[in-house]
């Protein structure tokens, strides 16, 4: 309780807003002003009057907040909270890929560095990848980075032939076909919800392929009482809050992102006290990265 009070006081003093991704530990989700997916959170933060954004998530998310809110100070309470998938491609690698396909447009998943976004034409989230790809002319060649599994999902849904980068999320690929079969055998009435970052065999067994924000919306409308959840297990806290009457089973207890769990209450306090670690994006990169994000928002103003 003392820690929570201290955070509230520091938050007022610094005119700060606290954002927590759906995969954050439960106590951090509970104290946040906004919870959600990375882009939704950054858009909320940009709209708010706060002077400081405390991003409880991973590095690329704090960068996205900095891209959209250049006049605000963005803090990531644990500077080593990175995303292995985002780190699987850098700007130089993307430039080389573009040289091999000079006539292609680049769509990058929001789970990418600001420098990679700056080299991209369009950004997308797991909730709107299909719409972003569909919005591009049928004759357009498309490079999709960095997640091969989200890319495969978009290719199947749109019938387009995407040039994929072999990136992946180590947390989602830890979920196996056998995990789903076992969970289904134990809970035969449960609906299987899987994130598009999961591998193909897992997705084939799912009833619903949904982003984190779509999972939350889905269970709010669904009348089913049991769900098997194939994504990072932190989301189960948010799902239970939406549907206290329903049961949520993780596809596997292994689906935990160690980077998402690096943020603690103590680190939030230290960060607000010291105003470090700050996440900044050089202005030339920020402007080019923002162009890719803005194009996505223009295609889908309400998503």
Count of CB atoms situated within 10 Å of the CB of 161: 9
Q: Is 55 helix (H, G, I), strand (E, B) or coil?
A: strand
Nearer to ligand SF4, 171 or 271 (CB): 171
Question: In the stretch 143-182, what mask flags binding to ligand SF4 with x, by CB under 6 A?
Answer: --------------------------xxx-----------
The reply to whether 85 sits near ligand SF4 by the rule CB under 6 A is yes
The interface region with ligand SF4, picked from 204-212, 237-245, 256-264, 284-292 by CB under 6 A, is 256-264
Nearer to ligand SF4, 38 or 120 (CB): 38
Nearer to ligand SF4, 70 or 84 (CB): 84
Q: Shortest approach of ligand SF4 to residue 257 CB, angstroms?
A: 3
User: Do 279 and 75 meet the contact criterion of CB atoms below 8 Å apart?
Assistant: yes
Count of CB atoms situated within 10 Å of the CB of 103: 8
Cis before 243? omega within 30? no
Q: How far apart are CA 144 and CA 206, in angstroms?
A: 23
- The only residue of 111, 112, 129, 148 in contact with ligand SF4, by rule CB under 6 A: 111
Tokens linked to 175: 């979920």
The interface region with ligand SF4, picked from 100-108, 182-190, 240-248, 257-265 by CB under 6 A, is 257-265
- The only residue of 232, 251, 281, 289 in contact with ligand SF4, by rule CB under 6 A: 232
Nearer to ligand SF4, 50 or 127 (CB): 127
- The only residue of 212, 238, 259, 271 in contact with ligand SF4, by rule CB under 6 A: 259
Total residues in contact with ligand SF4, by rule CB under 6 A: 13
Q: What is the spatial order of strands in the sheet that 16-21 belongs to?
A: 34-36, 16-21, 52-56, 73-75
The reply to whether 84 sits near ligand SF4 by the rule CB under 6 A is yes
Would you call 289 exposed, middle or buried from its count of C-beta atoms within 10 A (0-12, 13-18, 19+)? buried
- For 33-72, letters b (16+ CB in 10 Å) and e give bbbbbbbbbbbbbbebebebbbbbbbbbbbbbbbbbbeeb
Nearer to ligand SF4, 121 or 232 (CB): 232
Q: How far apart are CA 288 and CA 84, in angstroms?
A: 23
Q: Which residues bind ligand SF4 (CB under 6 A)?
A: 23, 58, 83-85, 111, 169-171, 232, 257, 259-260
């Amino acid at each position: 309780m003392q820690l929570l009070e201290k955070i509230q006081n520091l938050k007022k003093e610094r005119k700060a807003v606290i954002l927590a991704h759906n995969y954050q530990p439960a106590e951090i989700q509970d104290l946040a002003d906004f919870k959600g997916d990375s882009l939704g959170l950054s858009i909320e933060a940009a709209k708010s009057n706060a002077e400081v954004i405390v991003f409880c998530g991973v590095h690329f998310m704090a960068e996205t907040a900095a891209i959209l809110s250049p006049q605000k100070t963005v803090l990531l309470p644990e500077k080593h909270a990175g995303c292995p998938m985002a780190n699987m491609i850098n700007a130089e690698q993307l430039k080389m890929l573009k040289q091999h396909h000079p006539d292609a447009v680049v769509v990058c998943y929001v789970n990418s560095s600001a420098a990679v976004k700056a080299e991209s034409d369009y950004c997308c989230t797991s909730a709107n990848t299909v719409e972003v790809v569909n919005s591009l002319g049928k004759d357009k060649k498309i490079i999709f980075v960095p997640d091969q599994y989200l890319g495969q999902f978009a290719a199947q849904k749109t019938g387009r032939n995407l040039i994929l980068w072999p990136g992946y999320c180590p947390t989602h690929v830890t979920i196996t076909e056998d995990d789903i079969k076992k969970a289904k055998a134990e809970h035969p009435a449960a609906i299987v919800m899987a994130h598009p970052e999961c591998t193909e065999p897992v997705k084939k067994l799912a009833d619903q392929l949904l982003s984190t924000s779509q999972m939350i919306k889905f269970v709010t409308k669904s009348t089913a009482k049991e769900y098997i959840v194939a994504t990072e297990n932190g989301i189960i806290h948010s799902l239970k809050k939406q549907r206290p009457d329903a049961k949520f089973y993780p596809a596997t207890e292994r689906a935990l992102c160690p980077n998402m769990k690096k943020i603690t209450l103590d680190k939030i306090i230290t960060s607000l006290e010291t105003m470090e670690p700050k996440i900044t994006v050089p202005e030339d990169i920020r402007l080019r990265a923002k162009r890719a994000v803005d194009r996505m928002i223009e295609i889908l103003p309400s998503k």
